[in-house]
Amino acid sequence: MCDRNVREGILVGCGNPLLDISAIVPLEFLKKYAMKEDDAILAEERHMPIYQELVDGFQAEFLAGGSVQNSLRIAQWILGQPKVAVFFGCVGQDKYADILAEKARSAGLDVHYQVKKDVPTGTCAVLITGTHRSLCANLAAANNFTIDHLEEPGNKALVDNALYYYISGFFLTVNPPSIMKVAATAHANQRPFLMNLSAPFISQFYMAPLLAVLPYVDIIFGNEAEAQAFAEAQKWPSEDLREIGKRLVAMDKLNPSRPRIAILTQGCDPVLLIQQDSVQEFPVTKLAVHEIVDTNGAGDAFVGGFLSQFVQGKSLDVCIRCGNYAAGHIIKNPGCTYNGKPEFVE
Ligand code: AP5
Ligand code: NA
């Protein structure tokens, strides 16, 4: 559990607060919307009926989602001390926003939403087909986040007061200036700035803002598909994850005294920790099929577990083991939710 050296507001994150609408659907449902089994996309006009259809035609579950908010909720759960993490994102003024805020606050997360009255809170369809899940995010209000929210005196104080920063690649589709601002604050004060590749489509379509922020990034997270999408967009010759990781950490960095670290997860295969020329593996305890509820949120939970230790100044080894612990726990529960008290032992 928590050490004395963590304090309120030590960690700040920005992202898209989304309410997940999750249901088991037949493959035809994906086909109808031209979606792939293990994908993550942003909703286009043609996807808009999905959400109502899930609610009307399937046993849809509503779960707190949004990648960064998931990670911070999990970090809070493990820390067991409220308000260590602060979250910024944009919601509407509606029932979904109330649900999200309630779930986040009951997890101990200090949420400071920007509220847009005329736009609904964002949702993410989680379409489960067997062991696969396909995500379709309708960012809605989340897409309206503006940098002036971070410039409000109270919020600015929270950003300045933090010692660690975490933002998803997903947020690059929303407001790169806010990301650059937080990254610059981290850099000016020599504080770690952590990011996530988030989804293949980020590298495919948002490479320019990703490359703009990368020099600030001290630790970059991703899974196999995301790392490979990044490599492909960079036209790197190799698909080998270790090779990709080494190239990723070698890319330009503003603070060379703290070399970049890449942490790549690969499902039940070992997590790779890549630092300069070294690649270390951290094994994952495989779960039996009957123990798996859904892997939705596994990557986010991994980051949450990692952050819970990182903000206590623990070694990368402990951080990664806690990441694996948290992911393993979340897989045994629906969506990115937990059950009972954390049982991580260092
Ligand atoms: P989703 O992508 O489902 O969650 P995730 O956290 O990324 O989980 P994945 O299952 O994709 O895991 P991964 O592939 O990243 O990691 P890996 O399998 O390597 O997304 C969930 C959330 O995203 C939703 O709540 C949604 O709201 C949000 N979202 C979607 N679009 C968004 C947008 N545009 N903006 C903001 N938010 C958005 O596994 C990681 C770790 O898990 C492993 O290292 C291991 O420890 C563990 N693990 C995985 N598989 C196993 C296994 N079989 N046995 C044991 N451990 C395992
Ligand atoms: Na889960």
Residue 175, ligand 1, Cβ within 6 A: no
What pLDDT was estimated at residue 5? Answer: 65
Q: How far is the C-alpha of 85 from the C-alpha of 250, rounded, in Å?
A: 30
Active-site residue, 300 included: yes
For ligand 1, atom 4, the nearest C-alpha belongs to 297
CA–centroid distance, 127 to ligand 2, in Å, is 13
Residue 67, ligand 1, Cβ within 6 A: yes
Residue 271, ligand 1, Cβ within 6 A: yes
Q: What are the average pLDDT values for consecutive 10-residue runs of the chain, which has 346 residues?
A: 75 97 96 94 96 95 94 97 98 96 95 97 94 93 98 98 98 98 98 98 98 98 97 95 97 96 97 95 94 90 98 98 97 90 94
Mutation test residue for ligand 1: of 73, 175, 265, 338, the one with most atoms within 8 Å of CB:
265
Task: Select from 82, 146, 151 the least CA-distant residue to 115.
Answer: 146
Q: How far is the C-alpha of 298 from the C-alpha of 282, rounded, in Å?
A: 16
For ligand 1, atom 12, the nearest C-alpha belongs to 299
Q: How far is the C-alpha of 25 from the C-alpha of 61, rounded, in Å?
A: 12
Nearest bound ligand to CA 133? 1
Residue 327, ligand 1, Cβ within 6 A: yes
What pLDDT was estimated at residue 214? Answer: 98
Nearest bound ligand to CA 298? 1
11-16+66-121+139-331: CATH number: 3.40.1190.20
64 Cα nearest atom in ligand 1:
25
Mutation test residue for ligand 1: of 132, 135, 139, the one with most atoms within 8 Å of CB:
135
Residue 65, ligand 1, Cβ within 6 A: yes
Q: How far is the C-alpha of 125 from the C-alpha of 46, rounded, in Å?
A: 14
Residue 135, ligand 1, Cβ within 6 A: yes
Residue ranges per structural domain of the chain: 11-16+66-121+139-331
Q: Which two tokens stand for residue 79?
A: 């820390």
Phi and psi at residue 220, to the nearest 5°: -120, 130
Nearest bound ligand to CA 287? 1
Residue 267, ligand 1, Cβ within 6 A: yes
For ligand 1, atom 7, the nearest C-alpha belongs to 299
